[in-house]
Amino acid sequence: MSEYCVGSVKDTTVIDTEEILDFANMVFSMSSGSIDFRRTLPKAYLAERAMIPTHHMIKEEGRIKALIDVYPGKLCLGQESLSYGYIGTVSVHPRARSKGYMIELMKNAEDQLRRDGADFVLLDGNRHRYQHYGFEKAGMKYCFNITKDSIRHYVNSQSQECGQKDKIYFEFVDSVEHDAVEVMYELYQKRNVTARHDKEEFYLCLCGWEANTYAVMLDDECIGYFNTTAEDDSVYEFALKDISQLPMVIWAFMQEMEPQELGINVGMDEVEAITILDSCSDYYTLNMSHQMKILNYESVLRFLLMWKQRAEGSLADGCFVIGVKDIQTNYFIKVSDGKIEVEETSEKADVVYSGLELVRTLTTSYYFHEVRRAESPLRNAPTGWFPLPFYLPVTDAF
């Protein structure tokens, strides 16, 4: 006999979070090697934060057999915001598979998010597995590859930078109380869109996935930060007071930490960083970001258009109608003098997509393939509206 139960900070149900962690650690360790979720995801599993996620469970005879956790989030762009749930720690006991537990938990998690007013849901994992639940890869990120030779040649060719490159050093940030964290958090808040809304969550996100965080120092002043893999060979996230110093900082980092190559990930909205990284890297790849399911199309479309407008400075005036098959609803989108409006309409749609098709076509590089087709209705969309930006650093993943 199985029973469904749920626990969160909003719920009065008594939940043993140690039991949840033991179960998740056991299931993941059986397939992915040893893992400790409290260390891997401190923002959600430190003892004092373990009831921030909503824990959806199925138990047999009082013991957990399947689990989904949902971490609540909010994207902010100025005064505008979107609420979302990030699904993670998806786990089923090996002897409880093929019983439909994951189908039940995914449905219950989505139903709860809808009741809570979430605008969209995120998760990571096998694309085709989660398409079954209505998720599709969303957004784009540039993944730049930089070698020691390429950055050395570039920096040495920039005479104005040579005098400072040897003065930069890096301090490991091992506590939210580190003197540099205040400056780092202020720099993070200057991103086009943010997902961390206090200094503690900001710092704990940087600690996730066993990452290293370094304050970038110049003449004893914090001028930015690098958040990297445990091996210091890839940068998950960075920020600098002066983005033009990025090549010099990269060169100093590679000299000090000694990776042979360095990967750096940035979202498609980080226009200045992309321009600079393209000039000093060997090559880049263009990858999709996380997997998304939209719950509130009106809010999400408007927010993503505002995100693009902020990143690029302006959007062309125009109108376009997008239909969503799944819910048989059309949305009228209008941009006029910088004002963006999205509302339900009875007007005929210029283009009609399923939820999966909409996310894939309007937020990823698949757009460039689609718009090339001679019969593509996207050719009638206002110039420059699509693809829409969407990207969260690995530090925000759950």
Cα–Cα distance measured from residue 246 to residue 315, given in angstroms and rounded to the nearest whole number: 28
Q: 201 near 207, Cβ under 8 Å?
A: no
Tens-digit pLDDT profile for residues 234-272: 999 999 999 999 999 999 999 999 999 999 999 999 999
Tens-digit pLDDT profile for residues 80-108: 999 999 999 999 999 999 999 999 999 99
Reduced to 3 states (helix: H, G, I; strand: E, B; else coil), residue 237 is strand
Token couple for 290: 């996380």
Q: 350 near 377, Cβ under 8 Å?
A: yes
pTM as predicted: 0.94
Query: Which pLDDT does position 377 carry in this prediction?
Result: 95
Cα–Cα distance measured from residue 21 to residue 38, given in angstroms and rounded to the nearest whole number: 8
Cα–Cα distance measured from residue 358 to residue 74, given in angstroms and rounded to the nearest whole number: 22
Query: Which pLDDT does position 292 carry in this prediction?
Result: 98
Tens-digit pLDDT profile for residues 130-162: 999 999 999 999 999 999 999 999 998 876 555
Tens-digit pLDDT profile for residues 367-393: 999 999 999 999 999 999 999 999 999
Tens-digit pLDDT profile for residues 272-318: 999 999 999 999 999 988 999 999 999 999 999 999 999 999 999 99
Could you tell me the domains of the chain?
A: 2-118 (3.40.630.30), 141-288 (3.40.630.30), 294-380 (3.30.1050)
Q: Is the torsion defined by CA of 360, 364, 367, 370 positive or negative?
A: negative
**What percent of the chain is modeled with pLDDT above 70?**
96
> For 94-97, which contacts have Cβ atoms below 8 Å and span 24 or more sequence positions?
94/27, 94/30, 96/58, 96/60, 96/65, 96/66
Tens-digit pLDDT profile for residues 161-215: 555 666 899 999 999 999 999 999 999 999 999 999 999 999 999 999 999 999 9
